Structure 1
Amino acid sequence: MIEKKIVTLIIFFYSILSFSQKKDEVEFINDFKKSEEFFTQKKYSISLEKSLKLFSRLDTTNYSELYFKTSFLIGDIFRETNDHKKAIVYYKKALKSFNNENNLTYNEKTTPSPSINDVNLNKLLLRVGSEFHIIKEKDSAISYYKRILSSGTLNQLDLTTKASAYSNLSNIYREDSIYDLAKEYSYESVKIYRKANKKVLESAALGNLASIYLEQKNYKEAKKIYLEGLDLIKLDSSSRATRYKEFLYFNLAYTLYLQKDYRAYDYQEKSYNIKDDLRDVEIRRIVDEIYTKHELNLEKEKTALVEEQRKLKEAQEAKASLLFGALSILVLIISGIVIYNYKLRQKNLKLKLSESNLIQQQNIEKLKSEAQVKILNATIDGKETERKLIAEILHDNVSALLSSANMHLTATRKQFNGNTPQEIEKTQAIISEASQKVRDLSHNLVSSILLKFGLEYAIKDVAKKYSNSQIKFDISAQNINRYNQEFEIKIFNVMQELINNILKHSKAQNAQINLKEEGTQLTILVKDDGVGFSTSSSSISDGIGLNQIEARIHVMNGKLTINSKENSGTSVHISVPIIKQEKNFKLTSVS
């Protein structure tokens, strides 16, 4: 009888324990689904906060499958936010969890455990290899990619993952100029994607293959493969296909440019249009994430305030209960103390709330200021790109057509043996005038000297143009080389704005411009002996356009210093990090 009661008691306690564990498991699963949902919505900061809390709770449990999925999700969050070293840490935790679940290493077993069936092992190995690839640890990346290639082929997911590994290995060998091996792996990738009917991924793999031929200067084959990749996704408007179209158009334009094919500009324009659309989407995503984070912070502060008020209320009720049973002679004294404490706490609470609101307001103003600077510079970048494109069209197309027309008219005049009709002479004069205006307009939009010969010669040309009997510009340049073209255009526009300020406002007789490359910095000094101005004036930026210069230098991570006094001239010192010239084609990595 006693033994039966003991057994019943044991069963009862076991049922309670099982119910508690089941309740915990349901709670963990719900928390994971919420984190995963925020990740899908690209609210990475919220997803990361919830995932890390869940991960720390799972660390002491035996829920291995959920531990595996959570560490994998955290790795994906760090991957999306470009913190690749932390992504590797959590991907390796997921691998370790996978191995413990199977009691085998991934070299010994190729079939994922039935208990962890939502994420393919090869996909996880590809993630780790891709992160090592991004941080330039190529040997580690190659090791993980080849583990994928040596595994068995189980399903469609394994095949496409292997194709991605082939493609990424091809990129590594291309970077090391091992072109034969790079092409071999690239062809394997294309073959798998084609068999699986993955047209978007096949187009990316074809783009990488074409880039290998481009580096080998086999322009004909590169052009053929780029066009083949574009044809696969010409009707696909998905975000991934759009990104691949952008780099395929850009690289095809560069290939045609090297062949001196004028159609390069058409494809380059298509690439720029897609890039502008992608940039708009990214800006909207950033703004949404900032707004969501701001709302989350406000909600936390509200929750903390409510909790503080609840605790305060409980303390007051406890004190009231204690005082109620005290001696009547102490009631008045204790009541006075309670009221005093209550008012003091309320005052402190108000002070804390005011301080919190002030800090929040400052953060909002900072975000607004940074957003305004980004919008201003995005506008300036768009104008610079548009001016450059128009200038190139005028110079390379319209000017060429006018010159051709003029040559035909000259040939026609010779056929008249000196009796040229007046209309032909007038037409030729009009074409010559139009050609000169087109050249002047092209030069005003973007300096042709800047594009052909670089920053130093373009600045000297501007200074020579504006120097006269009233003002003289003295130019000096040290160690100035050719830089990234967009970088040169931005610096040139800043210099033009400063020169215009001198001409319009300074009344100077002499101006000095010094350009110097010092290590990784380009330093610029612009001085004049003009009337100067007071740097304490609040209308300086509005009066001479320094607001745009300040915004431009700020986004370029540079420093701007202005020294000026009334009747004592002005000096402007600028220091910006140099952006070197890069190769004019792009590659993509599939992971």
Structure 2
Amino acid sequence: MVPFIKDTYLKLLILFFLMCSCTYGQNSKLDSAYFYYNTGKKFDFKNNHFKAYENYIKSRNLYIKVDNKDSLAKCNLVLFNLIDSQNNLEDEAKHYLDAYYSYALDKKDSLMLLISNNKYANYFWDENNISTSKAYYQKSLLLTENKQLKKHKPNIYSNLAYLFTKTKPDSASYYFKKTLSLYTTDDKNQLFGTYINYANFFQKQHKYHEAIIQLNKAAEIEPKTYKLKYYKILYGKFANCYQEIGDYKKAYEYYEKYNIYVDSLNNTAQNIAISNLDKKYKTAEKDKLILETDAKRIKNRNFLIGSLLFILLGGTIGVLLLKNSKRKRKLAEQEKELETQKNLTLLKEQELITINAMVDGQEKERKQIAEDLHDNLGSVLATLKMHFENLQINKDKNKINQNDLFNKTESLIDEAYLKVRSIAHAKNAGVIANQGLLIAVQMMAEKISSADKIKIEVIDFGLNKRLENSLEITVFRTIQELITNVIKHAEAKNITINISLFDENLNIIVEDDGKGFNVSKIDIKKGMGIGSIKTRINHLKGSFQIDSTLKKGTSIIINIPIK
């Protein structure tokens, strides 16, 4: 018994030491990861970006080893922020953000998803990707419907305002107003800052009077913190605006107020600016007195000249009136003859207009039939072709139920026949007229997916009511054409159709995982594919964007305003 007890005790003791060793190793790695992360933060604060990057990477690798996903996500986010803000770090920022976003999706963390969307919007922010950034901001707005995230909504609208400042001033002004409407009277610093930014927006457009209106609204608010800083900015902008419109007296007054909030009163540049404004104001006052004196003298002289001219012109006009009365009689007779000729000419022109209208109507009807055959019947025939290819490939194999595939193929042939018949009877609304856009798209996706060669997923948001019938038809035909192009050319396995209606804007994103293509080498003017789609979207005053990468797939982004 004694030897047995000793052996058991020894084994338990060894097991205990091994467990302690593993726990100590894990804790040691966590401590090291935490140390490197904080060290990176310190270097980042001191703008030593290379050292910050090295420490963040070490911290990230340790978090991966200990499988600490929360800390790893934070590390990915700071790495993205660091690399995206610098041009001298040889690393790609986006894949860190992709990792952060992927973890947010797995965790279903709304705040992390909101941060990800905003970061993506900033990452794609430039004049060529405005619609992409706007799409990400719209996703963020959807997340702010959550009560806990509602407080972030004004900031998103503010970012949208900055996004459109250069390209779409009207949209920027709309989003500035939207931002201001969401703040309460308690949000004094935010209101004050937004009014200042709105004024700055008008200044850049040289609309100084509108800028002064926004500055006056800011002046009515007393900030809770940073009062000296805010008032310094406010009075400086007042002075600049009044100087631009030539009101040197007020500009001088506001520069004096601005000077109160400046750290040092001996700032030479500011004193020179104030002195120059004082001189301009005094010079303007002297010029005003001189101009008033000259104006009185010129007024008296002009009155005398005017009286003489009136007498002279009165006599001349009397003579001319007599001559004109004779000419009017002759002109009246000539006008009667011209009127008769005009009537005859108008009758001929009306005949020509009627003929041209008939020709145009026939041409439009032919074009409509061609587009219907291409758009409506094309996708069905492309799907039918896939079914036949599948039958040919599997004709000697028993991996699939060929009877089901024959039945599906037969139903597609029937559908093609019905579509041709429908076009012949000018019923171009089809399934949309009876069931609506969303259901039509879902039915189309289900039919194409049933061929087991390509899978189509439809994701919708906000389509709770029907749209105008002609708009639904155009959108459905557009999606049909895009899906047909993917089937014919992309060699894709999966397609995702995102349809969302938000804030009077219909957003459509069609994504595939196909082979992609070089957008710059595509001539959209040829054929009835991308060119016709772009023409339709332009007609609806919408935007059309292609984002394609070779071997990674293609994304088509369409935005259509709903009036």
**Under a length normalisation based on structure 2, what TM-score does the superposition of the two structures give?**
0.41
Q: Which structure ranks higher in relative contact order (CA pairs < 8 Å, sequence separation ≥ 6)?
A: 1
- Report which of the two structures shows the higher radius of gyration computed on alpha carbons: 2
